[in-house]
Structure 1
Amino acid sequence: MLDRIKACLPSLAPAEQRVAKLVLNDPRSFAKQPISELADRAHVSKPTVVRFCRSVGYDGLSDFKLKLAGSVSEGVPFIHRSVDADDKTSDIMVKVIDNTVAAFLKYRNDASTVAIEKAAITLVQAYEQGKRIEFFGVGNSGIVAQDAQHKFFRLGINTVAYSDGHMQVMGATLLGPGDCVVIISNSGRTRDLMDACDIARKNGATTIVITASGSPLAAAGHLHLAADHPEGFDRYSPMVSRLLHLMIIDILATCVALRIGGERLQPLLREMKNNLRSKRYT
């Protein structure tokens, strides 16, 4: 939300820019104070405060303050904070955790529930029709694909995950109408994944892509689940995108499980848990 305000700042009228700077300097206070006090602090009129809210894409002051309060709750940072070589352990811990939480909350505010619902319905239909469901990813995204396969396998859904480009091409070649492939990529520009996506589409399979908006892969899939995050690519920080992708997979798996229904899944999950008891020390 604050990134949007920064991006809009040059196009705002001078009086509205003063309101914008007031928000950016102290968003928590802005979310709590009445319009009269906000107008006084920004040296503008009350209608200008409302106009500012509408200029940056919100219905009015109430809508703006509600979204702002959600964005800045619990001490979440507003931008990605790079880890520096001389950071103390306490600094590193705070930055890594804050960057992750910020990305999660940004996704919560930006995500398209319509796209997620369509993806979940598509996966359930493929499962109920006995069609193939596969997960493709390379590098870090390959690990996410394996995690997705594990989560869906627990639900009794027969799936596979491929992180090798040759296996992805062969797997995509064997897909057909009604089958579904979920392709995961941070950049959305990996050649192997693009090739596999094209092959799967040509064979009639439904392609669900979890990747960055505006990327070639985002345009190539049938259903795009946007995974956008404001992190910088410094030398030290782990990629928040991996955790973001894992969360999206968790959301998908939960939606699919609820649509399959507890009556079918609960006995299976209980039996699985009982059978795994022997693998643990008492």
Structure 2
Amino acid sequence: MNLLDRIRRELEQLSGAEQAVAQLVLKDPSGFQKLPVTTLAKRAGVSSPSVVRFCRTLGYEGLSDFKLKLAASLNSGVPFIHQAVQQGDTGETLIQKVLDNAIHTLSNFRNTAPAQPISQAAKLITKAISTKGRLVFYGVGNSGFIALDAEHKFFRMGCAAQAYSDGHLQIMAASMLNKGDSLIIISNSGRSQDLLDATRIARQAGAGTIAITASGSPLAEEVQVHIPADHGEYYEQYSPMVSRLLHLCIVDVLATQVALQLGDSVQKNMARLKKNLIESRYAK
């Protein structure tokens, strides 16, 4: 999903003034990126702050950041047309189809992803770690494996991290959260009732809530920080591929940003961990 598709998907959730700006972008995206804020505001029939507010609502730092991502989205080449794997496909064809789909999805995220929600999520997680809070990761089904990967990454950094993929355990764990803890939910659809219930419980307890999920989903609206994870793969697909890769990459970006914010403490933990692992290896 490119930036224009995302705007169309979230159009009804925007305010009246923001919708006017969105319609201007959709009508002439190339022209939008070339015009100053005063001209854009005049053409949309709104104030200049409304134009900036539209960009920030989508998760961008401001108009300049939005224009850069819009330009990257428009210049990404011919949109990828999904070619479903077929029974008679050769090994060479399968390699091309599977990898082209993955490459397109990751490239599109790189070109259009708003930095603001990732920075907000990293700040929330860093604060929880710095105050000895807990990090809890939720995922259901395929997303449960992503939650386990996230647990592993933050555990290696010396954080108190735990992943849950069972709905009942998620409700129980959410009930044990406190102010200063952070709940990070990974969900392809963002429509699991158990995840929504657990998120509400965590928020009532004062815990920070972050979701890596589809834009416009109920879960995206329920959390404090939403990191958009949009792609062309239908969320009820039996064997999801690109969604899994996209979620893994987002977790990597998030973990890296948190590690940089924590600084020397993470470096020391990682160095000690590596040393002990090397010493435990079998030597002939």
TM-score tier (shorter) = 0.7 to 0.9
One-letter identity of the residue aligned with 1:180: S
Q: Is 1:227 the counterpart of 2:229 in the alignment?
A: yes
Q: State the 1:106 CA deviation.
A: 1.1
2:145 matched to which residue of 1? 143
CA shift in 2, pair 1:103/1:129, >3 Å: same
Q: State the 1:79 CA deviation.
A: 2.9
One-letter identity of the residue aligned with 1:134: V
Aligned-partner Cα distance in 2 for 1:64–1:188: 24
2:269 matched to which residue of 1? 268
One-letter identity of the residue aligned with 1:140: N
Q: Is 1:152 the counterpart of 2:184 in the alignment?
A: no
2:193 matched to which residue of 1? 191
Q: State the 1:142 CA deviation.
A: 0.5
One-letter identity of the residue aligned with 1:275: N
In structure 2, runs of 5+ residues without a counterpart are 9-26, 36-66
The number of residues matched between the two structures is 233
Equivalent of residue 71 in structure 1, options 70, 73, 76: 76
Aligned-partner Cα distance in 1 for 2:203–2:68: 41
Which deviates more from structure 2 when the two are superposed, residues 81-90 or residues 159-168? 81-90
CA shift in 2, pair 1:279/1:140, >3 Å: farther
| Two-structure CA RMSD over aligned residues (Å) | 2.9
One-letter identity of the residue aligned with 1:223: V
1:259 matched to which residue of 2? 261
CA contact (8 A) 1:84 1:236 kept: no
One-letter identity of the residue aligned with 1:98: D
CA shift in 2, pair 1:198/1:65, >3 Å: closer
One-letter identity of the residue aligned with 2:34: D
Q: State the 1:266 CA deviation.
A: 2.1
One-letter identity of the residue aligned with 1:59: K
- Per-residue displacement from partner, 1:234-258 (whole Å, max 9, x unpaired)? 9786421111111000000000000
One-letter identity of the residue aligned with 1:265: V
CA shift in 2, pair 1:174/1:186, >3 Å: same
In structure 1, runs of 5+ residues without a counterpart are 9-50
One-letter identity of the residue aligned with 1:71: S
Q: State the 1:86 CA deviation.
A: 1.3
Aligned-partner Cα distance in 2 for 1:2–1:225: 15
Which deviates more from structure 2 when the two are superposed, residues 269-278 or residues 171-180? 269-278
Larger Cα-atom Rg: 1
Q: State the 1:233 CA deviation.
A: 6.8
One-letter identity of the residue aligned with 1:156: G
Aligned-partner Cα distance in 2 for 1:63–1:276: 43
TM-score, with length taken from structure 1: 0.74
One-letter identity of the residue aligned with 2:175: T
1:132 matched to which residue of 2? 134
2:226 is paired with a residue whose SS is strand
TM-score, with length taken from structure 2: 0.74
Q: Percent identity?
A: 46
2:163 is paired with a residue whose SS is strand
2:158 is paired with a residue whose SS is coil
1:277 matched to which residue of 2? 278
Q: State the 1:211 CA deviation.
A: 0.5
1:71 is paired with a residue whose SS is coil
- Give the alignment of 1:8-23 within 5 angstroms: none
2:44 matched to which residue of 1? none
1:175 matched to which residue of 2? 177
Equivalent of residue 241 in structure 2, options 235, 239, 242: 239
CA contact (8 A) 2:33 2:70 kept: no
